[in-house]
Amino acid sequence: MTTILEQYADIVGWEVIDQLYQLAAPLKGIKVVHVNSTRKGGGVAEILNKLVPLQKDLGIDVTWEVIKGNKDFFKCTKSIHNSLQGSNIELPQSMMDTYEKTNEKNAEKLKKKLNDADIVFIHDPQPAPLIKYFPERKGKWIWRCHIDVSKPQRTVWKYIKNFVKDYDASIFSLPAFAQPLPHPEYLIPPSIDPLSEKNMDLSREEIEQTVQSFGIDIERPIMLQVSRFDRFKDPVGVIQAFKLTKKFVPSIQLVLAGGEATDDPESNSVIEEVRLAANSNPDIHILLLPPDAHRTINALQRGADIIIQKSTKEGFGLTVTEALWKGKPVIGGDVGGIRIQVVNHHTGFLVKTPEGAALRARYLLFHRERLNEMGKKAKIFVKENFLLTRHLREYLTVMVSLKYGVKERIELG
């Protein structure tokens, strides 16, 4: 019988699969728990949905827990998220109290599970204070930061660091995000699953049907940004870029496809700003999709001519990886994780302004051969760097090294 992992052999080769089995051998049966703040919506949930079953498949006793909180808690964690990504926000004492109290309540519920675990991964700032309530923990605790903390608001970072410093290790997505901390820091970029509904091949017929079902004309050029409605994703900047491109390519249409993450209380006000900027333009399609619309997003990405990710801060940007994997060059904001995916002029273009984005969009629309050539490079680049199997290998390596205290090298086989 083929295991889940073995299904990837066709894409990455058997050597990669064998290496994963070898790395996982010393971890068989150990208890690993991942903790984050939402099961649906956003990149972290997307990744855990894929990584957890694979770790299980390798014989690790792994579970995924989601902390619970009320509106006030998520308002507070969104402020922390925004300020860690550089917004100048003060955290009032009442917010810190809500943040810590909610974590304390969750700690109660998770007490036995987390105390007994050999390795605990705490994802992002929302559950970061949990560690404070586990003085009797027996395993190693890792803080996995997915966001762009290259220039955090200092007071808020100092506050969060107070929790993070007690962890045994932390993981950041890029070197630019690493912070001075009194423990080992690992750099692991995220990944996509090439076999998931979000990324698998689709028939031309399905792509066309999906695109047309939203009233979008498949015969005319399509510019697409897939993102939660979040100001750091700059959807209004995308509309500006679209309007500038339309001066030269009048038939172009814009699709802003997003949804709501359950831990994001700001999306409604951003959607309002987007609607205002779109000003009922019939060629701007704002799609509010349910969190499990993976196949729909896949089809939209495959049906688009120009894929844009105009973020002004970006922890990584799985939407960029997803587009590159589908053979589409990406016009991306010159920030955070987009920089390690968009190799300027090769897998896409890095831009700083709506004008820059429009210039590159116009170029690609008028140079289709170049677009296709860059798209081919983009797919190879993802295959070599950003697939799930590489991500899994690096997580296994961190686990082996923390569990067995390996400092310099891990011998296989």
Tokens 């993802």 belong to residue: 382
Kindly tell me which residue out of 258, 265, 327, 336 binds ligand UDP, with binding defined by CB under 6 A: 258
CB distance 368 to 139 below 8 Å: no
Kindly tell me which residue out of 152, 194, 259, 354 binds ligand UDP, with binding defined by CB under 6 A: 259
- 303 in contact with ligand UDP (CB under 6 A): no
Cβ 402 to ligand UDP shortest distance, Å: 25
Cβ 320 to ligand UDP shortest distance, Å: 7
Count CB neighbours of 71 within 10 A: 8
Which part of the chain contacts ligand UDP (CB under 6 A), choosing from 148-156, 312-320, 328-336, 396-404? 312-320
- 42 in contact with ligand UDP (CB under 6 A): yes
One character per residue 279-298, x = contact with ligand UDP (rule: CB under 6 A): ----------x-------x-
CA angle 66, 72, 75 (to 5 degrees): 80
Kindly tell me which residue out of 127, 235, 303, 317 binds ligand UDP, with binding defined by CB under 6 A: 317
Residues 6+ apart with CB under 8 A from 193: 50, 199, 387, 388
Closer by beta carbon to ligand UDP, 288 or else 406: 288
Tokens 């010159």 belong to residue: 334
| Residue nearest ligand UDP by beta-carbon distance | 43
CA angle 405, 410, 413 (to 5 degrees): 130
Strand partners, 226: 257
From the list 209, 68, 171, 234, the residue with the least C-alpha distance to 402 is 171
Cβ 295 to ligand UDP shortest distance, Å: 10
One character per residue 187-226, x = contact with ligand UDP (rule: CB under 6 A): -----------x---------------------------x
Cβ 131 to ligand UDP shortest distance, Å: 23
Kindly tell me which residue out of 322, 326, 335, 341 binds ligand UDP, with binding defined by CB under 6 A: 322
Maximum alpha-carbon separation in the chain: 64
CB distance 225 to 310 below 8 Å: yes
CA dihedral 21, 22, 25, 30 (to 10 degrees): -70
CB distance 257 to 297 below 8 Å: yes
Hey, which bits of 31-88 come out as E strands?
Answer: 31-36, 61-66
- 43 in contact with ligand UDP (CB under 6 A): yes
Cβ 326 to ligand UDP shortest distance, Å: 11
Q: Write out the residues near ligand UDP by the rule CB under 6 A.
A: 42-43, 46, 198, 226-228, 257-259, 289, 297, 316-319, 322
